[in-house]
């Protein structure tokens, strides 16, 4: 007796008509998504941003010393470290007065008190090389400031100022400021006005307000002066 074969139709709920022809998931070919940018690109962008930040910080620190259209002074070119104090009310464009680190400020000038000695001509050359000149004293207040400074315990005995004579008794300032004999601060019985004493110093151990002394242009300490930088 031949066995009977029974056929049945089976329908799966929610099955799509094309389900029968689908390839099993594990046999599907993996799709390839090409990389949109190289791996090093984010690093390059980060580096560029860092460089921009450094440039901005540098500009903020340095730009005040170099205003648009201004040329840096010789003093600015010689020194990188400065000390500044507020000079004008807030809201003003230029409100800080600055001197090189190690210099003393008085009013609108900066002063350098040397800790070594030089000949008279060398002293002026040294000041000039720093963008300054031997100090020119224009007022009693400035004289009082300098006298107080040279009397500090660690200061030397004599400090050159920018006053000298090419001819005996013919005194002139290094910056060509007219010499005013009535506004001079000579020690008692000075100047000597001799042919071998044509340089002038502030003498530490003299009376503070009257302490100028004409001396031989030999090795002495020196005071350099330059206009303060306003930023």
Range in 46-55, 68-77, 169-178, 194-203 the model is least confident about: 68-77
Torsion of CA 181, 184, 185, 188, to 10 degrees: 0
How confident is the model over 40-59, as a mean pLDDT?
76
Determine the pLDDT at residue 19: 44
Q: Which of the four pLDDT bands, split at 50, 70 and 90, describes residue 224?
A: very high
SS3 category, 155? coil
Tell me what the mean pLDDT of segment 218-231 comes to. 95
C-alpha separations of 116 from 45, 155, 171 in Å = 53, 10, 25
Please tell me the predicted confidence (pLDDT) of residue 88.
59
In this model, does residue 193 exceed pLDDT 50? yes
User: What are the boundaries of each domain within the chain?
Assistant: 90-230
Asked if the model's pLDDT at residue 172 lies above 80, the reply is yes
- 90-230 CATH fold: Mannose-Binding Protein A; Chain A (3.10.100)
pLDDT at 5: 39
pTM of the predicted protein model: 0.69
In what helix (H) or strand (E) does residue 149 lie, and over which residues does it extend?
A: helix 140-150
Tens digits of per-residue pLDDT, 50-92? 888 787 755 555 545 544 345 678 898 899 999 999 865 555 5
Is a pLDDT exceeding 90 seen at residue 24?
no
Distance CA 129, CA 149 (A): 23
Whether the pLDDT of residue 133 is over 70: the answer is yes
Poorest-pLDDT segment among 11-20, 63-72, 182-191, 195-204: 11-20
Among 31-40, 93-102, 148-157, name the one with the lowest average pLDDT: 31-40
What is the average pLDDT across 161-184? 95
Please, which residues have CB within 8 angstroms of residue 217's CB and are 6 or more apart in sequence? 119, 120, 121, 164, 198, 199
């Amino acid at each position: 007796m031949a066995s009977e074969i029974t056929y049945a139709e089976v329908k799966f709920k929610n099955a799509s008509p094309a389900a029968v022809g689908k390839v099993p998931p594990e046999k599907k070919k993996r799709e390839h998504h090409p990389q949109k940018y190289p791996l090093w690109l984010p690093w390059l962008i980060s580096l560029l941003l860092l460089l921009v930040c450094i440039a901005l910080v540098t500009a903020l620190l340095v730009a005040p010393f170099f205003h648009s259209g201004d040329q840096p002074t010789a003093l600015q070119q010689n020194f990188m470290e400065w000390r500044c104090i507020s000079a004008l009310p807030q809201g003003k464009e230029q409100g800080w007065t600055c001197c090189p680190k190690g210099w003393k400020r008085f009013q609108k000038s900066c002063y350098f008190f040397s800790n070594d000695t030089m000949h008279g001509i060398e002293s002026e050359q040294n000041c000039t090389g720093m963008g300054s000149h031997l100090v020119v004293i224009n007022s009693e207040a400035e004289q009082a400031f300098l006298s107080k400074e040279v009397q500090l315990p660690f200061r030397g005995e004599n400090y050159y100022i920018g006053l000298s004579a090419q001819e005996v008794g013919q005194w002139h300032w290094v910056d060509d400021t007219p010499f005013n004999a009535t506004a001079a601060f000579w020690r008692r019985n000075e100047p000597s006005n001799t042919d071998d004493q044509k340089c002038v110093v502030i003498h530490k151990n003299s009376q503070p307000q009257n302490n100028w002394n004409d001396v031989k242009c030999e090795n002495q300490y020196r005071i350099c002066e330059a206009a303060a930088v306003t930023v």
